Amino acid sequence: MNQVRRRRLIFVGLLVLAAAIAAALIALALQRNVNYLYTPTDVLKGDAGGHARFRLGGMVAAGSFKRAQGSMEAHFDVDDGDARLPVVYTGILPDLFREKQAVIASGSMKDGVFVADQVLAKHDENYMPKEVADKMAEAHRKHAVPGQPPAGNN
């Protein structure tokens, strides 16, 4: 093999290697920024991983909301029909936040409690995120809950 071909082959090899490294770094960066949506049942089964950041979706359990007077720290449970998971959030909750309403919280697990850094409440009486609605409908069918399960909107 002559010198010119060898240089071209090395150049193409280095170019392919650089492209592969760049693609791997991009994929790694994108995966770190993805927030997966889990229900309390998924989290308690271990599907959400250890201390990974994720979104928790479900309904605010009736009678579970507690906030000490003068404190910004809110404690409540998120329920999906099969399991309940305690949530702690420090900050101002959305105006539409209520018990027995759909909620999505972003954060991570710490000592068996979901520590949220953002809480989103549904925006009207008919809306529930599709992923949460599908998982809650599955729980309703599993437990033969009478009535219509919540419908998801896109």
Q: According to the 3-state scheme, what is the secondary structure of 22-54?
A: HHHHHHHHHHHHCCCEECHHHHHHCCCCCCCCE
Q: Grade residue 11 by pLDDT with cuts at 50, 70 and 90.
A: very high
Question: What per-residue confidence (pLDDT) applies to 153?
Answer: 47
Amino acid in position 22? A
CA distance 84 to 75: 13
126, pLDDT greater than 60: no
Lowest mean pLDDT among 8-17, 67-76, 96-105, 145-154: 145-154
Dihedrals φ, ψ of 83, to 5°? -150, 160
Whole-structure pTM value: 0.64
34, pLDDT greater than 70: no
Dihedrals φ, ψ of 49, to 5°? 85, 175
Mean pLDDT for 2-27 is: 93
What does the angle CA 142 – CA 97 – CA 61 come to, to the nearest 5 degrees?
A: 35
> pLDDT tens, 20-31?
999 999 888 877
154, pLDDT greater than 50: no
- Closest residue by Cα to residue 133 from 106, 108, 107, 103: 103
Q: Is 59 exposed, middle or buried (CB count within 10 Å of its CB: 0-12, 13-18, 19+)?
A: buried
> pLDDT tens, 54-93?
888 888 999 999 998 889 999 999 998 888 999 999 999 9
151, pLDDT greater than 80: no
CA distance 100 to 149: 13
Question: What per-residue confidence (pLDDT) applies to 37?
Answer: 83
